[in-house]
Structure 1
Amino acid sequence: MTIVALDLGGTKLSAALLVDRTIRHRTVAPTAARQGPAAVTDQMVRLVQDLPGWEQAERLAVAATGRVHGGRVSALNLSTMPGWTDVPLQEELSRRVGRPVTVLNDADAAAYGEAHLGAGQGLASMMFVTVSTGVGAGIVLNGQLLQSASGVHADFGYLRAGNGSSGHGDREDETVEDGAGEDGNTIEALSGGRALERWTRRHGGTGGAAQLIGWAAGDARAEARLQLAVTTLIRGFGDVRVMTGVEDVVIGGSVGLNPEFFRRLEVCALDQPDLYRVRLRAAVLGADAGLHGAALFTQRERSR
């Protein structure tokens, strides 16, 4: 089966032609996000039509940032994707390219890809979590992608992290100064790359999460801040396990796959009580997870 898959992010837009699950051609461009939904849709159509052999594609599959419901997309951060409120992306793309279109949230698509083609192969259920600028997630239960009619599901980064002390030790007050109040003490506010970069710059750094991770070896404040991010994620994973039964978590993203950050996650996971302990795996599909996942999901949905 031939499918064109697109991965729509706030900064990058990718398109690929997949034939029997193999990427044959691809193209990448900066997302024209500041110009609004109509300009981005035009850009998506151009990228599709620039792919050699795209006319042979039976369907289009889109992995899109934001909340997806009924083929309509709403950005979670309108400062990054202005104008993206209930945009009928599925309908508009289908009209423009003359093919059926399936639209998934990008983390859902990546989760589906890793579950069936990547690190989660052989697992009945798993959660995929990407820790990069923010914290996104998708959940596959018994081989099926967890979805909802409203598009509100598996929003792991928006889980409220409370005050960070749940009987396993209190965090240092000074480590939460990077605006837990801004985002309501969510997991993303404490563990996402944007939050770690804010902390680093506030303390004299010029880099992002990678610089903080490097500092942690010799700086007590950086060590405490990094460990807060790690512990917040691991406790969140444990809560998801208790609610869903998912015991395996696949980690992706530039922060999540940093070797030292991933090592700390593994150590912290092993230190949890049995009821909350999860097994961690590193994602293997990289930036192509969303493309592969969206295409495979579309192919399987069509065959039902």
Structure 2
Amino acid sequence: MANYIHLPPGSPEVPRLELTVLESDYREGALRLLKELRPEWRPEEVTTQGWGPSNLILCLLFWGVRYIVFPVLPPFRLIARRLAKIHAIHAHNGWIPKSNLWLKMRAYFSLTPTEFPDRLVHDRFVRDVPNRAVLEQEMAWMEVALSSLGSPVVLCHNDLLCKNIIYNEKSDGVQFIDYEYSGYNYQAYDIGNHFNEFAGVNEVDYSLYPDRVLQLHWLRDYLEAYKQFKGVRAEVSENEVERLYVQVNQFALASHFFWGLWALIQAKYSKIDFDFLGYAIVRLNQYLKMKPEVMGLSLPE
């Protein structure tokens, strides 16, 4: 989410490919990309599938090794450990990273539409979306309330929905894709955003949001891996797990709000065939629904 990442001196140069993949011919573009990245793959044995509400995501299958985004999440422990590994990356060379979550959220807010040319769409917008004064008030409240939780700022994925997780059955490992929104952000935001995404995108169902028992197991696995990758030799205490649980569930509010604003912008300007206004309404309603419950949680002493 931040647009600055400091790399230590002597870090290897990141390879750059001068190659464009067009949505109108994504298979050909994907095969040209594979020729550079996986020259041993034979094009006639590669199948492709594309989807995505904000940008095109490709699924590639080759020789029975499934580089595929599953509709059901792979084992939670693998995801927790993988996210912990990313969060433990120390790539700022002594510089203390800062999150620009609130700056980005305010920028999105400034771009949200105030009207729609289609009368039915506009009426739905006015009826079902909180007015700008309410949104601005909630945004200001969140910045004060959540910034005081003490969640560390780490390198985050920021968009860890199910279809951005690739599970390789052969190696029983996971990889994350689509780092478009990655950057320095609050640790608890990244995890809370991931938990929110259990509900899906096309057919959102928040009954799938992980319950307390599942979360506590996930968070303990995450903290154990996080300490391991940070080189900290200490047991994970109940207090640490409970603290992260509170932080995560309260920062999940910011995730709902952020993507609600994003979807309002998409509803006005995107040419993708997706009900972005409906999605914005769902996310903002869930924010309002969750707020009393999660803000009733208290950090442990």
Settle same-fold status: TM greater than 0.5: no
Greater CA radius of gyration, 1 or 2? 2
TM-score normalised by structure 2 residue count: 0.28
Q: Of Structure 1 and Structure 2, which has the larger fraction of its residues in helix? A: 2
TM-score normalised by structure 1 residue count: 0.28
Q: Of Structure 1 and Structure 2, which has the larger fraction of its residues in strand? A: 1
